[in-house]
Amino acid sequence: MLIQKPAMPGVAPQRVPIVELRNIHVAFGGVRAVAGVTLDLYPGEVVGVVGGNGAGKTTLMRTLSGARPPDSGQIFVNGQPVTIGNPRDAKALGIETIYQTLALADNLDAPANVFLGREVTSAATLNDAAMESATRKVIGRLNPNFKNFKTPVLRLSGGQRQAVAIARAIHFNARALIMDEPTAALGPAETAQVHALIRQLKSEGIGIFLVSHDIHDVFDLSERISVMYHGKLVGTVNKNDVTTDEVLGMIILGKPPTKLTQQELAELHG
């Protein structure tokens, strides 16, 4: 019942994962935010990463983004060991991130944010027109009603800001995407659009780590679900093998489904 390695129909087991995190540790002072977590991600697969508040999901993902390198542990990309010391390293490896905080420069407009750190230049000067044109195309995929390409993103709605953050992650041909609560600020229509996008990216062979608190979204979109509890990995399960209640039990009680008693499961609804 508990699946440690992917053996799903349609995914050949011998395929090399795009990303592998092995035995990752991160501590902040005395707080062991991530303690020995191992995860992998295959092309064209969505792995849901779930857990209670403060479980360490964001911290784990940030080691892969280069935002906060791990204290110990190894990262493999396409089977090769790599060192991700900063966000540029991650991007160079084709790993893009949509941060939980969005990480937008509020005073800049959408094109400047999408291309931040990777500006298009011609004759050593910024080519704003080219960047705006590309931004219009990529945001058009997410939100056809988006019109404010010249206003600071500060003045955009929460959903529009999220569209900018997503656009930035998908524009540069990512091979692996980290989405840390990408639909937290979105209305139903926009959420549906992001779900459609996730499915499309998946079909293009991109691997996605989807961090979310919405257990139904996670069940909807992902093949496998990894559950974290107090910095540790409770387990990674194939979504077809578990019920939402069992995953809830893993999140709340920090025990794999095999160790959950009927009584504990019943109390979840208490």
Residue type, 100: Q
How far is it, in rounded angstroms, from Cα 110 to Cα 80?
A: 35
Q: How far is the CB of 149 from another protein (least distance, A)?
A: 8
Q: Which stretch binds ligand ATP (CB under 6 A): 7-15, 27-35, 219-227, 232-240?
A: 27-35
59 binds, among ligand ATP, another protein, Mg ion, none (CB under 5 to 8 A by kind): ligand ATP
| Phi, psi of 125, deg, nearest 5 | -120, 155
Where do the DSSP E strands lie in 201-260?
207-211, 224-229, 232-238
15 binds, among ligand ATP, another protein, Mg ion, none (CB under 5 to 8 A by kind): none
129 contacts: CB under 8 Å, gap ≥ 6: none
Q: How far is the CB of 61 from Mg ion (least distance, A)?
A: 8
How far is it, in rounded angstroms, from Cα 244 to Cα 103?
A: 31
Q: Do 96 and 41 form a contact (C-beta atoms < 8 A)?
A: no
Q: Which is nearer to ligand ATP, 99 or 115 (CB)?
A: 99
> Do you know the residue count of the chain?
270
Q: Which of 58, 65, 97, 193 is close enough to bind Mg ion by CB under 5 A? A: 58
* ∠ Cα 25 26 31 (to 5°): 120
Q: Do 149 and 70 form a contact (C-beta atoms < 8 A)?
A: no
33 binds, among Mg ion, another protein, ligand ATP, none (CB under 5 to 8 A by kind): ligand ATP
Residue 55 makes contact with ligand ATP by CB under 6 A: yes
Which residue's CB comes closest to Mg ion? 58
Pairing of strands 72-77, 176-180: unpaired
Q: Which of 2, 16, 105, 266 is close enough to bind another protein by CB under 8 A? A: 105
Residue 52 makes contact with another protein by CB under 8 A: no
Residue 212 makes contact with ligand ATP by CB under 6 A: no
How far is it, in rounded angstroms, from Cα 258 to Cα 269?
A: 19
Q: Which of 38, 74, 78, 86 is close enough to bind another protein by CB under 8 A? A: 86
Residue 33 makes contact with ligand ATP by CB under 6 A: yes
Residue 236 makes contact with Mg ion by CB under 5 A: no
Residue 137 makes contact with another protein by CB under 8 A: no
Residue 254 makes contact with ligand ATP by CB under 6 A: no
Can you tell me whether residue 269 is helix, strand or coil?
coil
Rounded to 10 deg, the angle between the 188-203 and 158-170 helix axes is 10
Give the binding-site size for another protein (rule: CB under 8 A).
Answer: 30
Q: Which of residues 80-139 bind Mg ion (CB under 5 A)?
A: 100
Q: Do 153 and 110 form a contact (C-beta atoms < 8 A)?
A: yes
Q: Which of 58, 65, 191, 212 is close enough to bind another protein by CB under 8 A? A: 65
Residues that bind another protein (CB under 8 A): 65, 67, 86-88, 91, 97, 99, 101-108, 112, 116-119, 121, 124-126, 129-130, 132-133, 155
